[in-house]
Structure 1
Amino acid sequence: MSETPTRRRRADHSGRSIVFVIYLVAIGVAGTMGFLLGMIGPDALNSVRLFFLIELPPTPLGLAFYGMATLAVGLGVLLLAVRYVARRYA
C-alpha cells in the first residue's frame, strides 16, 4: 500500500502541530491563572512591569496579559531556537 503525498505531508507536520497546540494551551493556562490571581487578591499585589517597559495594574486582565505575554515570548524564543537547530543539524 503506497502513501499519497497528502498523507506524507500530514505526517510530517503532525509533530509541529502538536507542539503548537501545547504552546497555545500553555499560554491559555497562564492567562487563566493570571486572571484568577487578579480576581482573588488585587489589593495585596503590586503592579507588574512587562519586559521592564510597560507597567500593568494588578487587575485580572492586566495579570492575564502579563502571564500570557511573558510565557508566549519565553517559550516562543525557545521553540524558535529548537526549530533552528533541528533544521541546521539534521
Structure 2
Amino acid sequence: MRLDKFLKLSRLIKRRTVAKDVSEQGRVWVNGREAKPSSTVKVGDELKIQFGQKLVTVRVELLSESTRKDDAAKMFTLLGEEPIKRESDSIL
C-alpha cells in the first residue's frame, strides 16, 4: 500500500494530500529511510513521522483498502512520541 494512503486510512494524518505533502517535505521515514508518498508500506514496517516539534514512531499492524473510524487505530501500534530538540535549546 502507498505510504500516503496508509497515513490517511489509519487516520495518522487527516487528508491524503496533506500526507503527500508531509512525505515530500522529508518528514516521514520508513524503516529508517526517508520515504516518498509512493513508497510501499508493509505489515511490520516502522514509520517515523515528524509533527511540528514531535516525532511519532508507529509500527504497521494491518493493511486495509478501506476502514471505519473505529477500526483505524488497529492499523498501527504507537511505539513512542518524543519531542524534537531545537538547536537553540542545546546552546543554552
- Answer with 1 or 2: which has the greater Rg: 1
TM score, norm. by length of structure 1: 0.24
Decide which structure has greater helix share: 1
Higher relative contact order (CA 8 A, sep 6+): 1
